[in-house]
Structure 1
Amino acid sequence: MVRNRRSEGSDSSAARKPEGSDSSAARQPEGSGVRGTYAVGDERRLCILDAAVEHFAQRGFHASSLARIAADVGITQGGLLHHFPSKEDLLVQVLQRMDASDRERFFSREFESAAQMFTALVRLAEYNSARLGRTRMFNVLAAEAGDPGHPAHAYFVERYADVVGTLSGVLRRGVDSGELRADTDVVAVAQELAAVMDGLQIQWVLDPKGFDMAGRFRAYVERVRREIGAEGS
């Protein structure tokens, strides 16, 4: 984000200015002020997104207030709206940021096998078990989004279609390669994987200290692998 600074004294015209003159005061690289503004703006946006996660997790979308989110960040509601034009836009940005982060961390490369995909899903469950606020927010918003009029309804419909499509595609390649049984219903298994992961998240959020979400999901995945694995695979 920071541009290279020019060597001190490289501007000969500046060297001829009298010391202390306004025109000679600490010349900055061209555009450095703008770049600094961008950096501050990016940091402010991230702070708003983080605060929004907590509010959406605690209150859901409809009961969350832009004014309270802004106050938590230390800015006015008008300042928040400078970065996010509406509460609906803020919600979508929160969800998209969450998905982008998870994709980069766990699904950035094409899986070479179904076993590799199963391992990544378990790692995701383990990662989520350290993110109570984010997981609570997901549960609350997913439940609210069952209403077709909810601003996140289309997002969740597309998300589940994408998740099932991605997982079933990997499972289909596993069938074709002989890794998985030929009679495997890849779409059904993909839907069940998504449903079990999200269902276990609900139970964990209700009892984060007493419920081993990652352990339960790991055990479930192992059962699925044994059931659909080709003999000797």
Structure 2
Amino acid sequence: MRPTASDGGRPHRLRRGTAERREEILRAAIRTFGSKGYHNGSLTEVAEQVGMTHAGVLHHFGSKNQLLIATLQFRDRVDVEHLEGKHIPGGRDLFRHLVKTAEINAERRGIVQAYAVLTGESVTEGHPASGWARGRFATLRREIADALRELISEVTDNPVDDDLVDGVVTRAASAIIGVMDGLQSQWLLDPGALDLAESTAFAIDAIVARTVATATTPLTPPY
């Protein structure tokens, strides 16, 4: 009888080997794109890191563009692999997740560097990561805004102005993303200048506190 995936035969081992090989290529691509950017990072350099040829990398991913997209998707999976259910939580847990992510990022410079470089490059015309970056930011803004709405509803018994809440949580979500990305850039340039997790927690706490206060008792800006 021919071996199958269910009985532990050879085809199963081959498929598992292919998956492991693809992950090796993706991690090499993260290092290459993170240090040199998408346009300057070559498939040949990626291939050399894993003992393959340029053609071997193309066999697995088809093109440089497809490798980039797979690399970005891999980075997103790594971000949630420590979470139950493998997806971003909601409510208060979302903010804890963001701080935990910053703590984990402090131990994986290569992934942080690749993210910073590729999102920065994505604003240039025709860059293949532009669609991924737009979609990622849109999803994050929505998830953070929803978590803030949930938090606001938890902490107040008084009616709130829905239009006001929608406006303030949307601005706050963008601010949290911007602060986190800015702190990562500072940390990449000078790791000793800040504690990434502590600085992230401080910024998120401040924005969340101001958001809740503004949504429940509108404040006059002090500037």
Please report the TM-score for the alignment, with normalisation by the length of structure 1: 0.79
SS in 2 for 1:209: helix
SS in 1 for 2:123: coil
CA deviation digits over 1:121-163, x for unaligned, max 9? Answer: 1111111111111111111111110013000011101110110
* More helix by percentage: 2
Matched residue, 2:175:
192
Q: Say if 2:148 and 2:208, in contact at 8 Å, map to a contact too.
A: no
Question: 2-side partners of 1:67 and 1:173: how far apart?
Answer: 48
Does residue 54 of structure 2 align to residue 77 of structure 1?
Answer: yes
Compared CA separation, residues 110 and 215, structure 1 to 2 (3 A):
closer
Matched residues in 2 for 1:216 and 1:88: separation? 34
Structure with bigger gyration radius: 1
Partner of 1:4: 7
Which residue is 1:210 aligned to? 193
Q: How many residues align?
A: 203
**Structure 2: 5+ residue stretches without partners:** 217-223
Q: Is the CA contact (8 Å cut-off) linking 2:116 and 2:185 kept in structure 1?
A: yes
Offset, 1:110: 4.0
CA distance in 2, matches of 1:60, 1:83: 21
CA distance in 2, matches of 1:148, 1:171: 33
Q: Which digits, 9 at most, give the CA deviation of each residue in 1:90-128, with x for residues without a partner?
A: 0000101111222343572642x3x32221111111111
Asked if the contact 2:31–2:110 (Cα under 8 Å) also holds between the matched residues in 1, the reply is: yes
Match of 2:219 in 1: none
Q: Secondary structure at the match of 2:191?
A: coil
Question: Counterpart of 1:136?
Answer: 113
Matching of residues 1-233 of structure 1 within 5 Å: 3-4=6-7, 32-106=9-83, 108=87, 110-111=89-90, 113=91, 115-178=92-155, 182=160, 183-184=164-165, 185-229=168-212
What root-mean-square deviation, in Å, do the aligned CA atoms of Structure 1 and Structure 2 show? 2.2
How many angstroms apart in 2 are the aligned matches of 1:64 and 1:125? Answer: 26
What is the rounded CA distance, in whole Å, between the counterparts of 1:203 and 1:189 in structure 2?
21
Structure 1 residue aligned with 2:220: none
Does the Cα contact within 8 Å between 2:88 and 2:94 map onto a contact in 1? no
Inter-CA distance 165–143: structure 2 relative to 1 (3 Å threshold): same
